[in-house]
Amino acid sequence: MTRGNPEDFRINTDIEKGLSNAQVEERRLAHLTNKKKKQHTKSYWKILFDNVCNPFNLLLFAVMGVMIWAKLSLSHYIFCVVLFANVFIGIYQDIHARHLTEKLKVLSDEKALVIREGKQVQINVDDIVISDILVLKQGNEIPADSIIREGSVSVDESMLTGESRPQHKTVGDEVLSGSFITAGTCLVEVQHVGEDAYAEKIRLIASSFKRPKSEIAQSIWNVTVACSAAALVFAIVYLLITFLRNPGDMGEFAPMTTRGRNIIESLSGLMVAMLPTGMFLLTSIALTTGVIALARKGMLVQELYCIETLARADVVCFDKTGTLTDGNMSVYEVIPLGETKEEEIAFGVSAVLAGTKDNNATAKALRTKFGDSCSKEIETFIPFDSAYRYSAVSFKEGGTYAFGAYGAVPAKKDEEIEKLIEQYSKNGYRCLVLGYSKNKIDNGKLPDNFELCAVLTLLDHIKESAKGNIAWFLSSGVDVRVISGDNPITVAEIARQCGLVGAEHCVDMSGVKKEDIPELVKTVKIFGRVMPEQKEWIVQALQAEGHKVAMTGDGVNDVLALKQADCSIAMASGAAAAKNISHLICTNSDFDALPDVVAQGRRVINNLQRSCSLFLAKTIFALLVSTAFMISMAIGGASYPFETSHMIAWEICAIGIPSFFLALEPNNERLKGSMMGNILAKSLPSGLAEACCVGGGFLLCYLFPSLVAENPNDIFPRMIAVSVISFSFFAYVTLFRVCRPLRKYRGTVFAGSLILGLIVFVIDYFVRDEHSRGVLLQIPWNGLARTFLLGVLIVLAVSTGVYVLANLLIKYIQRKSHDHQ
């Protein structure tokens, strides 16, 4: 439908009445709303396509198609169980995650306060129309380009211009979408909406920035690409060698002959063994399960792999409010100074609140105590800004009241007042001073001759869960730093009461330079009087020390630090600026879920590292064994002997099923080393040992054929039997190592998987086809010598020796690498 001309709908709206419902409807029908193109969750078609048509699955579908064409027996298709489980579970998890995410986004979507029909109403920012009158307060994101009609504010335009200092805006000034109100309250009239807004015009430039892939994503992608490429190369080489050795084999496929069927059996077995089929399934299940679990706890994951980033965090930076305290404050005591009367104190505080209309936690506590009325006409005011740490009003008839931090309100130093404030601060109270000057605010600046009238002490309410949360992080190897705009002595006392070890190491950041911060972060736990840019510098300094930093915040003054942190968490009730830049949003505005978030991330990463090593061990085995038999074929020896059915006990019972359950196990172990390094450290020894099961089995059968076969002239099928039994058994050695220590959950998983594997072998031994091969594993059980089991034990003993030596070598290399670092 045609969009209306914005110029035809712009009017000078009455700021008291706002637009009428009829005027709003006209603009809506003309498509002049603030609706913008948004990044949505995956569409259902996208979910279906991604889970079915990724290159990995397509390769397996191709293998399955060739096997169907060759009319292989049903036991060859067991790998398809994992393939289709990968597809269907992936689709289900993606759809479930989409539904939960959309529900949470409704809760966290930003609202706008508008004046319509003479009333203030709250609407979605998408429903704003041209000429709407918006009420903007501290912490609000400006949702549409507008003109200030009443009031004055400080605006952070750093997201648009890069300028970090707030810009003062008053009546007649333009404020742009994508910027944020850092102080003050104003009424604005909307000028540009939707795609016409300034921020939307530059969005395409910003959207070209992509976050780097996580270690999980990169590792899985590297393994997938390498294995898929290797499988294709080996398949092509296998076919070339086969046809070069016997050109007549090219005619064995149409119509399909026994010879052609045998070639396809070996080729499909080679490719399926080489592809870590379940790794995709495992990763998608682990990550999506993590997202769903966090969603149920009220955490909206805005970037999937931030679960991994938070799990790797070894330092978490808290603001005091929302983590140690619940944000509710109360006035504890009002201490008059000099001959100031209580009535004058009450008048001064309420006058500042009436003029600035500040709505932060401090202002709410003072408003409850003193009210916010003023009998004098206010001429100018300065709303609270963390950069200045005070609020002030000037009267038309003369005089200025200001309250804020001691030292921020310009007055002569007084040792008695300093001692008084220090005493209260040490006991955890927040202290403000109220001052009066006969002069007025001049060009946004306070006069410098204030007389202090009173000390106002406020009490923060410590959260009941704070002590437990701090203890959890410290016991889990995560260092805690508290970064606050309050007096460091006050914050340190609150942190001490919450059980933070080292809370006595605090510093007042007033005047601290950037170059001094790297030394401070080595010992200081509590940072007070912190400016917004200093928060960013603290995070940078911690990262320079090699730490992975998680940052929590809810205000505009936290944006720079949230953007810098490795993982950022904001509250849904916080400023839009903080939410837009954060990886995670706490939809119930309670950071108590953070231990669960970290634990969930550690569960995902630790379990993936354990389980992926099972899959990669099989891939390493396949690469080594395939290479050996390629060389054998090239010189006229045996071809690759294994079919997909030979891998059933290994692929399904020792890898597929246990890895699924291991991926869901609670696991809060601290992460160490790189993901790929940890996986390879576990999988390389296993892959080498399992390959030795084949090499050792064939060598044993070649040197001592009577040990395993009744008829030494028919030894090749017995070699296969020795190898399949040996590498299937050794797969459980690998699983046992992955499950250590055998706690109740892991022990149950291991025992259940072992029993299931034994059942497969029992069925295969007792139920055979017309060729006397087992119906599941296709092992040729007839003609085995009585000493067959002795041969298997010899092979396993040699493979175990290789496994132990490989483990020792890897540990030696890791130790040398650690010493070198």
Q: Mean per-residue pLDDT for 322-327?
A: 77
pLDDT of 367: 92
Asked if residue 176 lies in contact with residue 122, where contact means CB atoms within 8 angstroms, the answer is no
- Range from 208-222, 315-329, 357-371 carrying the lowest mean pLDDT: 208-222
pLDDT tens for 106-165 read: 544 578 899 999 999 998 888 999 999 999 987 788 888 999 999 888 887 766 654 556
* Radius of gyration of the CA atoms of the chain, in A: 35
Asked if residue 190 lies in contact with residue 129, where contact means CB atoms within 8 angstroms, the answer is yes
Q: Mean per-residue pLDDT for 712-716?
A: 79
Q: How far apart (Å, rounded) are the C-alpha atoms in residues 581 and 569?
A: 9
- Range from 73-77, 257-261, 343-347, 527-531 carrying the lowest mean pLDDT: 73-77
> Is the N-terminal amide bond of 383 cis, ω within 30° of 0?
no
The SS3 of residue 414 is coil
Q: How far apart (Å, rounded) are the C-alpha atoms in residues 132 and 113?
A: 10
- Range from 526-540, 587-601, 643-657, 739-753 carrying the lowest mean pLDDT: 587-601
Asked if residue 241 lies in contact with residue 633, where contact means CB atoms within 8 angstroms, the answer is yes
User: Does 269 have pLDDT greater than 80?
Assistant: no
Supply φ then ψ for residue 318, to 5 degrees: -105, 150
pLDDT tens for 200-225 read: 554 433 333 334 346 776 777 777 77
**What are the residues whose beta carbons fall under 8 Å from the beta carbon of 601, sequence distance 6 or more?**
290, 307, 308, 309, 310, 311, 312
pLDDT of 212: 39
Nearest 5°: CA angle at 25, between 23 and 29? 120
Asked if residue 606 lies in contact with residue 671, where contact means CB atoms within 8 angstroms, the answer is yes
Q: Look up the pTM and report it.
A: 0.66
Q: How far apart (Å, rounded) are the C-alpha atoms in residues 470 and 461?
A: 16
Closest by alpha carbon to 180, among 142, 143, 217?
142
Closest by alpha carbon to 180, among 539, 532, 557, 483?
557
Q: In this structure, what token pair is assigned to residue 694?
A: 């084949």
pLDDT of 71: 80
Asked if residue 795 lies in contact with residue 693, where contact means CB atoms within 8 angstroms, the answer is yes
Parallel/antiparallel/unpaired status of strands 315-318 and 479-483: parallel
Contacts 24+ apart (CB under 8 A), 56-65: 56/224, 56/228, 56/275, 56/280, 57/83, 57/86, 57/87, 57/280, 59/228, 59/231, 59/232, 59/271, 59/275, 60/272, 60/275, 60/277, 63/268, 63/271, 63/272
Asked if residue 356 lies in contact with residue 382, where contact means CB atoms within 8 angstroms, the answer is yes
Scan for tokens 């609407």, then name that residue: 123
Q: What is the DSSP string of 14-40?
A: -TTT-B-HHHHHHHHHTT-B------P
Q: What is the DSSP string of 90-149?
A: HHHHHHHHHHHHHHHHHHH--EEEEEETTEEEEEEGGG-BTT-EEEE-TT-B--SEEEEE
Parallel/antiparallel/unpaired status of strands 526-528 and 506-508: parallel
Supply φ then ψ for residue 185, to 5 degrees: -140, 145
pLDDT tens for 481-497 read: 999 888 888 889 888 88
| Amino acid letter for position 191 | Q
pLDDT tens for 533-549 read: 899 999 999 999 989 89
253 beta partners: 256
Query: Cβ–Cβ contacts within 10 Å for residue 101, how many?
Result: 19
| Amino acid letter for position 1 | M
Q: How far apart (Å, rounded) are the C-alpha atoms in residues 730 and 732?
A: 5
The conformation of residue 4, written as its DSSP 8-state character, comes to P
pLDDT of 203: 45
Contacts 24+ apart (CB under 8 A), 797-803: 798/692, 798/696, 799/689, 799/690, 799/692, 799/693, 799/696, 799/726, 799/730, 800/689, 800/730, 800/733, 802/685, 802/688, 802/689, 802/692, 803/685, 803/686, 803/688, 803/689, 803/730, 803/733
